[in-house]
């Protein structure tokens, strides 16, 4: 069968694109996506109230101006609320749940994790723009799931 040269070029280009796309998914899955952003740090959800960090979750400003925010998600709110953090500094969120799986998404940003009972999910982001952001639970967690929102203030 005679395939025209241009047609052959297009076929190889299309095949190359498919390999790149599938390869991207394979690489990010292997390196990032199949684990929660947690470093597999565990916590007993039954005793959170007396836990040294998560017993009274709060924003801690470090000497270098960065912040660590401990967050407990529970039906149907986040603690603390509102969360106040500095703009332009790295902010490390440490999120866990007291009861069922919740989501923790700062709407309009790529700050997003699951809050899984028994685990601490951790990620660091820098908010450059001051303002008020909505934190939404994006995992269905019960009858008032749609009411589960929090406020993040960046100053």
When binding is defined by CB under 6 A, the residue of 145, 149, 151, 153 that contacts ligand CUA is 145
* Long-range contacts from 66-72, C-beta under 8 angstroms, 24+ separation: 66/90, 66/91, 66/92, 67/91, 67/92, 68/92, 68/94, 69/93, 69/94, 70/94, 71/95, 71/96, 71/104, 71/115, 72/48, 72/96, 72/97, 72/98
Q: Which of 76/89 has CB closer to ligand CUA?
A: 76
- The size of the chain, in residues, is 155
Q: Which two tokens stand for residue 2?
A: 């005679």
What 3-state DSSP class applies to 54?
A: coil
Residues numbered 45-84 forming contacts with ligand CUA, rule: CB under 6 A: 76
Q: Which of 29/134 has CB closer to ligand CUA?
A: 134
Instruction: Give me the numbers of helices (H) and strands (E) for the chain, helices first please.
Output: 1, 11
- Residue 139 binds ligand CUA (CB under 6 A): yes
Least distance (Å) from ligand CUA to the CB of residue 131?
23
Q: Which of 51/145 has CB closer to ligand CUA?
A: 145
When binding is defined by CB under 6 A, the residue of 68, 137, 152, 154 that contacts ligand CUA is 137
Q: Which of 92/138 has CB closer to ligand CUA?
A: 138
Q: Which stretch binds ligand CUA (CB under 6 A): 10-18, 26-34, 61-69, 136-144?
A: 136-144
């Amino acid at each position: 069968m005679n395939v025209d040269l241009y047609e052959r070029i297009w076929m190889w280009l299309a095949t190359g694109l498919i390999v790149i796309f599938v390869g991207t998914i394979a690489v990010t899955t292997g390196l990032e996506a199949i684990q929660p952003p947690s470093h597999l740090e565990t916590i007993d959800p039954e005793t959170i109230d007396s836990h040294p960090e998560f017993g009274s979750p709060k924003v801690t400003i470090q000497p270098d101006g960065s912040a660590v925010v401990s967050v407990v998600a529970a039906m149907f709110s986040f603690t603390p609320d509102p969360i106040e953090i500095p703009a332009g500094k790295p902010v490390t969120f440490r999120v866990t749940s007291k009861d069922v799986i919740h989501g923790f998404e700062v709407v309009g940003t790529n700050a997003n994790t699951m809050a899984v009972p028994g685990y601490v999910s951790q990620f660091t982001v820098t908010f450059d723009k001051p303002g008020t952001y909505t934190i939404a639970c994006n995992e269905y967690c019960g009858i008032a799931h749609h009411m589960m929102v929090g406020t993040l203030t960046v100053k």
